[in-house]
Amino acid sequence: MKNRKLVMIPGPTPVVRTIQDQMARETVAFGDPKFVNDFKEVIADLREIWGTSGEVFVIAGSGSMSMEMAIANTLKAGDNLLIVSHGFFGDRFVGIAENKGINVDVMKAEWGKVFSAEDIETKLKEKHYHAITVTHVDTSTAAVAPIEEIGEMMKKFPDTIYIVDGVAATAGEREYVDKYNIDILFTASQKAFGVAPGLALLWASEKAMERRKSIGSIPEYYVDFDKWLPVMHDPSKYYATPAINLIWALQESIRIIKEEGIEARYEKHIDISKAMRAALIAMGFTILADEKNRATTLSCCLYPEGIDDLKFRTVLAEEGAQVAGGLGAYAGKMFRIGHMGNIDMLDMVGAISAIERTLYRMDIDVLGKGVEVLQRKLME
C-alpha cells in the first residue's frame, strides 16, 4: 500500500481542511463587496494580533519578495545597512541590498548560534546605519534570534530602522511589532500560518512609513508601499489583482489563531518543539542549534555517523514523510524538519514513526523509541 506523504519540510507546512476549503471556493471579482469586507477584516486582525499602530500589507508574492519590499521602502542607494545573518537566508539580504547600491556590512554568526543584543549594539556604535536586518528564525539553522531584547536595545538608535525577517517565525514564535520596537516585520503565508504559498505579509511602523516618505520616489514598482497603501486602506481600490482565494484562506488561518489565542499558540509551539526534538535525539540525531537558541518552528538534525542523506530522505519519503535537506556547509550532513503552523499529534506521530521505519530499513533499529518519547512529552 502506498503511503500518503506528510509534508514536514520547514514550509510549505500542512494545510488543514478548513483552509483548503477556502482556496476551493468559487473565485469572485476583487471588487465584490463581501470579498472587500473579508480583506478589510484580514488587515484589521493582522494589525491587532501583532500589535501595531502602523500599516499592514498583504500582497501576492513570496517571502523573498517581502524581503525586497522591506529594503526597497526604507533604504536608498548609498545608505548603510547592517545585516545580522544567522544563516543562509540572512545572507540573502546581501544580494538584495547590493543590487540597490546600498552599503552593506554583515555580522555573520556561526551556524547554530545567534548574536546577542549586546553584540549588535557594539557594531551599531561603529558608524551610523540607516537600517539593520535580523532574521528571527533562519530555516538553514533553526536558531532563533532574541528579537525582543534587540528591539529594546534599538531604542538607543532612534534613527535606525529595525527590520525583522519573520518568514519562519511569525505565528509560531512570539512577535509583537510595537511592543518589540520593530519597524518592519515580514513573513509569508506558507509557514506558521499554515496557508499555501503565495502571500507576502508585512507590518510597517509609523517610523518606517515616515522613512518611506522621506526617500521620495523609488525605482521599484510592484513592491512600493505608496502603490499599495490605498488598497490596504480600502481594498475595493485596484492596484494589482489580489490573490482572492489565498486571502480567504488566510482569513480562515487567522480565525483558527484567534480561536486558539495567540499566546496559547506560541506556548503550543514551544511544547511541540520540545517533544519533537526529544524524540529525534532519542533516535540518535543531534540538534544543530545551541540549546538556548533553538526555534519552536523547526529543527535541524545532524545525522549519526554512517547515514547517507539522500538515501535517508528517499526512504523517508517512501515511508510517508518528506523533510528538507541541509543547506550550505551542512548539505548532506543533516535534514530539516518543520513543526509549525497547524500540525497536530497525528502529524507528529506519523512523521516520527516514519523516521523510525526509515532507520530500521537502514539497519538502525529504533522502532518505538522516538514515538514513545514524543507521546510522553506531549502528554505531560
Q: What is the pLDDT of residue 5?
A: 85
Q: Where does residue 304 fall: left (phi above 0), alpha (psi -120 to 50 degrees), or beta otherwise?
A: beta
One-letter-per-residue 3-state SS of the chain: CCCCCEECCCCCCCCCHHHHHHHCCCCCCCCCHHHHHHHHHHHHHHHHHCCCCCEEEEEECCHHHHHHHHHHCCCCCCCEEEEEECCHHHHHHHHHHHHCCCEEEEEECCCCCCCCHHHHHHHHCCCCCCEEEEECEECCCCEECCHHHHHHHHHHCCCCEEEEECCCCECCECCCCCCCCCCEEEEECCCCCCCCCCEEEEEECHHHHHHHHHHCCCCCCCCCHHHHHHHHHCCCCCCCCCCHHHHHHHHHHHHHHHHHCHHHHHHHHHHHHHHHHHHHHHCCCEECCCHHHECCCEEEEECCCCCCHHHHHHHHHHCCEECEECCHHHCCCEEEEECCCCCCHHHHHHHHHHHHHHHHHCCCCCCCHHHHHHHHHHHC
Confidence of residue 304 (pLDDT cuts 50, 70, 90): very high
* Average pLDDT of span 23-31: 96
CATH architecture type of domain 6-13+262-379 = Alpha-Beta Complex (3.90)
Q: What is the pLDDT of residue 271?
A: 97
Confidence of residue 2 (pLDDT cuts 50, 70, 90): confident
* Average pLDDT of span 113-127: 97
Q: What is the pLDDT of residue 1?
A: 64
Q: What is the pLDDT of residue 3?
A: 73
- Whole-number Å distance between alpha carbons of 215 and 160: 14
Q: What is the pLDDT of residue 4?
A: 78
* Average pLDDT of span 17-34: 97
Ranges in the chain annotated CATH 3.90.1150.10:
6-13+262-379
Q: What is the pLDDT of residues 352-366, one digit of tens each?
A: 999 999 999 999 999
Phi, psi of 133 (to 5 degrees): -120, 140
- Whole-number Å distance between alpha carbons of 235 and 227: 13
Q: What is the pLDDT of residue 136?
A: 97
* Average pLDDT of span 256-267: 98
* Average pLDDT of span 119-145: 97
Structure-block grid coordinates of residue 294: 533553538
Ranges in the chain annotated CATH 3.40.640.10:
17-259
* Average pLDDT of span 247-262: 98
Q: What is the pLDDT of residues 212-249, one digit of tens each?
A: 999 999 999 999 999 999 999 999 999 999 999 999 99
Q: What is the pLDDT of residue 311?
A: 98
pLDDT of residue 261 exceeding 70, the answer is: yes
Phi, psi of 357 (to 5 degrees): -65, -35
- Whole-number Å distance between alpha carbons of 192 and 266: 10
Q: What is the pLDDT of residue 318?
A: 95
Q: What is the pLDDT of residues 320-340, one digit of tens each?
A: 999 999 999 999 999 999 999
Mean pLDDT of the chain: 97
Which CATH class, in words, describes the domain spanning 17-259? alpha beta
